[in-house]
Amino acid sequence: MGKNAVYAQSGGVTSVINASAYGVVRSSFKSSSIDNIYVAINGINGIIGENLINMKNLPNKEIELLKYTPSSTFGSCRRKIKDDNDPIFTTIFEIFKKYNIGFFFYNGGNDSMDTANKISNYAKSINYDLKVIGIPKTVDNDLPYTDHTPGFGSSAKYLATSILEGSIDVKSMSKDSTKVFVLETMGRHAGWLAASTAMANINNKFGPHIILLPEVPFDKVKFFNKINDFINDDGYCSIAVSEGIKYPDNNFVSDLGYKDNFGNKQLGYAGKVISDMVHNELGLKVHTAIPDYLQRSGRHLSSLTDVEEAIKAGEKAVEFATNGISGYMVIFERVSNNPYKIDFKLEKLNKIANGTKYLPKEFISEDGLYVTEKFLEYCKPLIEGEFTPPYKNGIPDYLKLNIYQ
């Protein structure tokens, strides 16, 4: 008789996180080491509250739809486990013992890997045989030690397409109406998503003209001069703004005045702040777009590369765990750009936990207001291909499970 496994999703979602779930579930079904694969509802909360579903009870058709469904089908969470003395550990391991759990797969980002690391360490401290593997996920692409993360490629594709179409729109209206278009992207400390909008220019250069990155302190004078240059040359200016841009004094250009459960300042509306500056100080008509959740759950425009790698990350997590490995996260190591090839490797959870991977200097233009050719070469394979969801009545047919308690 083998052990059982539990999988859970945590943190901000992506359009391909359920593809990783699919990889875990299908591989667990095939594994001789895993009897049952449970999914916890709403992340670690589902374990604490014993809100688990046995995936063998789901119809095959619903499991197949996981590949196409965005966001978290099973619910996510932002719950932080404080330290080794947190009484929550007792509850978690009582549930693990009750369900004969020998494998724990946690699918998330920086803070989620901290939780996985603490559970792994606690298991060792009480001599409980538990194999813990983290599965990467974040549209922000800011997990250290991995070339990229599932979710980023699809969000990059969505944002590049969005700013391309928005730039064409403002160009058409610029003669005697709107002169500036601003698109705000996610990205608390790292500018990967904002940078990805530059992919809009790889076919025809409609925009963006300017990209504001968190790694570069916001210089209003330089920014305004650049806008005027593009309006003089092209008649309009298209701008991508990361939500995490900061002034030289390290204060955010815009935050909402409160923090999330992990103590992070809640960001938002940096694009609106920038738009107001441009309108009020340059006297230009500006249109602003804040895609917010749309950029991370736009599954209709997901990248084929991203979906396939998300599934593979889930499969590799099961492979590594059933081979006796624990306390690591699956990482991607790029072998080559052309042809594009990656290897799946491992890195210790304690090195991933709470870390941040910033956009490197060689990816940022000399004036700090755009990206380099090196970034375009890095990003291009990640947005390649399409994996279109099934449509019904003209709308994507996504999986909805009535499983919440």
Of 355, 327, 382, 364, nearest to 145 by C-alpha is 355
Hey, is 273 helix, strand or coil?
Answer: helix
Is residue 188 a known part of a binding site? yes
**Tokens standing for residue 90:** 């007792």
Contact at 8 Å (CB) between 34 and 28?
Answer: yes
Phi, psi angles (nearest 5°) of residue 220: -65, -40
Is residue 26 a known part of a binding site? no
Residues 350 and 338: their CA atoms lie apart, in Å, by 32
140 is catalytic: yes
Residues 105 and 127: their CA atoms lie apart, in Å, by 19
Is residue 22 a known part of a binding site? no
Residues 349 and 114: their CA atoms lie apart, in Å, by 7
Report whether the peptide linkage leading into residue 208 is cis, meaning its omega lies within 30 degrees of zero: yes
In order, the DSSP letters of 326-374 are -SEEEEEEEEEETTEEEEEEEEEHHHHTT---PPPGGGB-TTSSSB-HH
Is residue 315 a known part of a binding site? no
Is residue 296 a known part of a binding site? yes
Give the chain's length. Answer: 405
Residues 152 and 208: their CA atoms lie apart, in Å, by 19
Is residue 139 a known part of a binding site? yes
**Tokens standing for residue 277:** 């500056």
Hey, is 92 helix, strand or coil?
Answer: helix
Place of tokens 């932002």: 78
Is residue 138 a known part of a binding site? yes
Is residue 186 a known part of a binding site? yes
- Of 111, 114, 140, 255, catalytic: 140
Is residue 83 a known part of a binding site? no
**Tokens standing for residue 354:** 């709470």
Contact at 8 Å (CB) between 397 and 225?
Answer: no
Q: Which segments are annotated as binding site for substrate?
A: 138-140, 186-188, 243, 293-296
Catalytic site positions: 140
Residues that constitute the known binding site for Mg(2+) = 110
Residue positions forming the annotated binding site for diphosphate:
12
Would you list which residues are annotated within the binding site? Answer: 12, 110, 138-140, 186-188, 243, 293-296
